[in-house]
Amino acid sequence: MAKHDHDSHMFEDKPSQKVFMFTLLMTIFCFISIYFVVLEDPRSHPDHYPEYYYEFWLAVYFHVWSFTMYNLLLTAFKSPGKTTKNQINPNEFCKRCNIDRIERSHHCTACKQCTLRMDHHCRWTNTCVGLRTHKNFLWYIFYTGFGGSTHVFLCITYLLGPGPSTLSNILVKGLFYMHAAIVGFFSYFCLTLLVFQVKLISSNISSLEYFKEMGVNFGFILCKVYPMESRYDQGIIPNFLQVIGDDVLFWLFPTEARNYKFETGYPKPPDVSSEDILAHGEFLFED
């Protein structure tokens, strides 16, 4: 029996808690700055702004920010799914974990485990994005991309708005220009990453599989995604359902994706019956 190892080294390095702390603190600081500085102006000078400006943007921003936080924390702290014994395709062997693992699992040297349907190891959250957290990651970059754009819009409105020309006000505004530029950069990055993820998910390709085939490249920052075929491709809608789950009511929420047809959202390979997967479903989820 041919045993091979799909160890993935491309996106792993030593666990970087500092990068995650930066992500977390930036996200928290964004809310504090919007609530206490940027929206303070329309609250104290409602005459200078359209009616309900403060209420509208506070509601929008609060929603976007809270969903960003939920998905960030879930991506970072929930187990992405660890592969254990695999009885379906016993030709996937990991030398480090010493197991026959489930197909599409990859060994992450940073997390020191074989992650189920590993998409990639995310430096910003300091964890693997895998079967159980891919939906949270997708929503995280969605809310960071669009929430960040809202943030930049509110900052610019505040910067161009009325305000006393005192030295402290000029200094605060100077800092906000820098802040808006940093958030703008991250928002742009997340939006291009979102386009990249949506394109890959629609063809049922993981980021890892894509970079293995195409070589590591950052063309996606310019929205360049090269066409690639996947043996797991089942059509756009079934491919998406594997990531966001079957349950329409929960698509928008940061809940775990459930795929009732295959019980756990396991990416069914073409030559494995769903009965096989259901029969071995107990192997799929382990924290």
Summarize as ranges the residues that interact with Zn ion (CB under 5 A): 94, 96-97, 107-108, 110-111, 114, 121, 128
DSSP helix, strand, coil percent of the chain (3-state; round to 5): 55, 5, 40
Q: Smallest distance, Å, CB 7 to Zn ion?
A: 7
- Cβ proximity to Zn ion, 3 vs 96, nearer residue: 96
Q: Smallest distance, Å, CB 90 to Zn ion?
A: 15
Q: Smallest distance, Å, CB 16 to Zn ion?
A: 11
CA–CA gap between residue 7 and residue 127 (Å, rounded): 16
- Cβ proximity to Zn ion, 114 vs 194, nearer residue: 114
Asked if residue 208 lies in contact with residue 166, where contact means CB atoms within 8 angstroms, the answer is no
Give 181's contacts (C-beta < 8 A, 6+ positions apart): none
- Cβ proximity to Zn ion, 41 vs 103, nearer residue: 103
What does the CA dihedral 239, 241, 244, 247 come to, rounded to 10 degrees? 180
Q: Smallest distance, Å, CB 124 to Zn ion?
A: 12
Distances (CA, A) of 108 to 5, 98, 151: 12, 14, 34
- Cβ proximity to Zn ion, 114 vs 284, nearer residue: 114
Asked if residue 106 lies in contact with residue 118, where contact means CB atoms within 8 angstroms, the answer is yes
- Cβ proximity to Zn ion, 99 vs 272, nearer residue: 99
Q: Smallest distance, Å, CB 114 to Zn ion?
A: 3
- Cβ proximity to Zn ion, 120 vs 179, nearer residue: 120
Q: Smallest distance, Å, CB 244 to Zn ion?
A: 22
- What single DSSP character describes residue 36? I
Q: What are phi and psi of 105, to 5 degrees?
A: -80, 150
- Cβ proximity to Zn ion, 35 vs 93, nearer residue: 93
Q: Smallest distance, Å, CB 270 to Zn ion?
A: 24
Computed from CA positions of residues 5, 10, 16, 21, in that sequence, does the dihedral angle turn out positive or negative? Answer: negative
Asked if residue 143 lies in contact with residue 39, where contact means CB atoms within 8 angstroms, the answer is no
User: Looking at this protein, which amino acid is placed at residue 109?
Assistant: T
Place of tokens 């030593």: 14
Q: How many helices (H) and strands (E) does the chain have?
A: 8, 6
